[in-house]
């Protein structure tokens, strides 16, 4: 199953570092980085906010556990956002490309 993973990072530099590690280890096919995302959230009992970089990652469910382990090894946050969403449909050549990229 193909998935899209969303991960936020404190800075674009950190997002690039995480992206490079995931790509080098062939855990992901593609990482898009959206810089300067404004996030609002509950943290330690109060509402907080931060300017972050959002990674939009394409991979497979089979790689997810290893992706989480790899991200946790380099991420600066205590509790980073790492969530996966199923790709329920997609352009077949693109989905095939994901599979080829992960071999």
Q: From CA 20, how far away is CA 24, in angstroms rounded?
A: 6
Domains of the chain, each with CATH number or no CATH = 2-101 (3.30.70.120)
For the chain, helix (H) and strand (E) counts, in that order, are 3, 4
Model pLDDT, residue 35? 97
C-alpha span between 11 and 95 (Å, rounded): 29
Percent of the chain predicted with pLDDT > 70? 100
CA dist 103 and 85 (Å) reads 21
* Residue found under tokens 């205590």: 78
The 10s digit of each residue's pLDDT in 31-71 is: 999 999 999 999 999 999 999 999 999 999 999 999 999 99
pLDDT tens per residue, range 6-36: 999 999 999 999 999 999 999 999 999 999 9
Per-residue pLDDT, 73: 97
pTM for this predicted structure: 0.95
Please give the C-alpha separations between residue 90 and each of 50, 75, 100, in angstroms, as whole numbers.
Answer: 32, 30, 15
């Amino acid at each position: 199953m193909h998935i899209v993973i969303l991960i936020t990072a404190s800075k674009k530099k950190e997002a690039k570092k995480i992206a490079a590690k995931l790509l080098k280890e062939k855990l992901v096919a593609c990482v898009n980085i959206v810089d300067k995302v404004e996030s609002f959230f509950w943290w330690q009992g109060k509402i907080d906010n931060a300017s972050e970089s959002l990674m939009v990652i394409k991979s497979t469910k089979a790689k997810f556990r290893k992706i989480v382990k790899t991200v946790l090894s380099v991420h600066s946050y205590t509790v980073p956002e790492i969530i996966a969403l199923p790709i329920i449909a997609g352009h077949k050549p693109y989905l095939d490309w994901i599979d080829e990229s992960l071999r």
